[in-house]
Amino acid sequence: MEGQTSAASSARQRDPLLALARLAFGFVTGISLVAAVAFCLAVPFVLLIRDKVLAWLVAQGAPPEAIWGVVMLQLLAAAAGIFAFYFFRNLYRIIDTVGDGDPFVPENASRLMAMGWISIASHVLAIPLNLVSQWLRHFSDRFHVEFGLSLAGVLLALILFVLARVFREGARMRDELEGTV
């Protein structure tokens, strides 16, 4: 077992693409978590300085209830950050199993399936995010947020679901092969 660990560690060190992917997706995972926390913390801050925010919104021509649009935009952005965090955390963990030399594990099939659902949920989340953003944009260009419903995103979800099945089948076949040896 110890020999496998050192072999996986040296394989991970020899593969610069894998090392770069780990670094990049580790960074993106951290940034998405920071963004989610920042947007969550912004909600009570906006409510704490509610009078100033209301004054600014009214000066922009917005009705006083636009403050709830600002809060909703922050909560939806926090949700998007949380989705991104879990998506990239799963990808990071899959990359680790590749570096360990054993990607066809049942956990990776579950991770890919979760990533597919996160992709779909992100597209669903884009609908209210765009609606609130468009409504607030009538009052200020500062609320210009666009999350599109893209064909590429839907195809990504389908690819992830197919890959989840491939990984599940690969793990099953490997387990069967190990059982016959």
Nearest to 80 by CA among 142, 145, 162: 145
Instruction: Specify the pLDDT at position 96.
Output: 94
Strand locations in 52-173 (E): none
Indicate the average pLDDT of the chain: 88
0.75 surpassed by pTM? yes
**Contact, 129 vs 73, CB < 8 A?**
yes
Nearest to 74 by CA among 44, 39, 109: 39
Q: What percent of the chain has pLDDT over 90?
A: 64
- Show the domain range for 59: 2-180
Q: Is the pLDDT of residue 34 over 90?
A: yes
Q: Is the pLDDT of residue 2 over 60?
A: no
| Domains in the chain, number | 1
111-156 pLDDT tens trace: 999 999 999 999 999 999 989 988 888 887 777 666 667 888 889 9
Strand locations in 52-157 (E): none
